[in-house]
Structure 1
Amino acid sequence: MAGSTVVMKLVCLLVVAMVTAAPLAEAALTCGQVSTGIRPCIDYLKKGGAIPDACCNGIRSLNSAAKTTVDRKSVCNCLKSAAGSIKGINLSLAAALPGKCGVSVPYKISPSTDCNNVQ
């Protein structure tokens, strides 16, 4: 009886460990999160001028959240898609934005970027 209780506790512990580990293995950032992060940048990317603080805060937040290669590729693909789908965006401003916000991004934000090469 005591042996089966120990086995049940171990099985429960294993199930809990698997449930908590699964989301961590698939922790890629979503395009919704990327969209929210760059939303304050859209007017700047269309018209230029002063970069809103909320824009740089969003860029910095995305950069710090993209901790894994999967996350960085996901963000790259979302940014690539946004750069190609939002009408009126100045791609030169988009490419320079991370640097102007003090963030180093190892790829160009452009519809032609190959996100498979992002590390």
Structure 2
Amino acid sequence: MSIIKSLVIISILGIFFIPRYSESAISCSTVIQDLQPCVSYLTSGSGKPPKTCCDGVQSLDAATTTSADKKAACQCIKSVANSVTVKPELAQALATNCGASLPVDASSTVDCKTYV
């Protein structure tokens, strides 16, 4: 009986300590949350983006580590950008102006197929 209890306990502990490998990509709600502070800048701003915007861009940059993440972020940005008129030059330079290497510009014209 104690062997069965030991096996059950080991099995339960194994569930909690086995690393999880997931193929799921970043959620659109996370992308929107990170980029929300950039909306007014992208639609009517000029010059350098505000710090809160850059903080979000850098957070998104850190969260998009796989090609699946980048493609999901790109598709989300593209769908949102289709409903908002952004200044293309600000959208294309957003990551660079925030010191991030995020390869997706915040515009509706970006080609998300490059992240396959």
Instruction: Say yes or no: does 1:7 pair with 2:7.
Output: yes
Q: Give the distance between the partners of 1:96 and 1:2, measured in 2 at CA.
A: 64
Q: Which runs of 5+ in 2 are unaligned?
A: none
RMSD: 2.2
> Which residue of the partner structure matches residue 31 of structure 1?
28
Q: SS of the residue aligned with 1:8?
A: helix
Q: Which amino acid aligns with 1:70?
A: A
What code does the residue aligned with 1:54 have?
T
Aligned-pair CA distance for 1:26: 4.6
8 Å contact 2:94–2:106 — kept in the other structure? no
Number of the residue aligned with 1:71: 69
What CA distance in whole angstroms lies between the structure 1 residues aligned with 2:39 and 2:103? 21
Q: Aligned partners of 1:74 and 1:45: how far apart in 2?
A: 20
Unaligned runs of 5+ in 1: none
TM-score, normalised to structure 2, is 0.81
Counterpart of 1:105 (choices 84, 94, 102) is 102
- 1:98 deviation in Å? 0.8
Letter in structure 2 aligned against 1:4: I
Indicate if the aligned counterparts of 2:77 and 2:106 stay in contact, CA closer than 8 A: yes
Deviation at 1:12, TM superposition (A): 1.3
Aligned-pair identity (%): 33
Q: 2:82 aligns with which of 71, 81, 84?
A: 84
Structure number with higher helix proportion: 1
Instruction: Identify if the C-alpha distance between structure 1 residues 52 and 107 changes in structure 2 by more than 3 Å, giving closer, same or farther.
Output: closer
3-state DSSP of counterpart to 1:85: coil
Deviation string 1:22-75 (CA, Å, 9 cap, x unpaired) is xx5155221111111111111111112242110111101110111222222211
CA positional deviation for 1:7? 1.7
1:117 is paired with a residue of what secondary structure?
A: helix
Q: Partner amino acid for 1:90?
A: K
- Residue 45 (structure 1) aligned with residue 42 (structure 2): yes
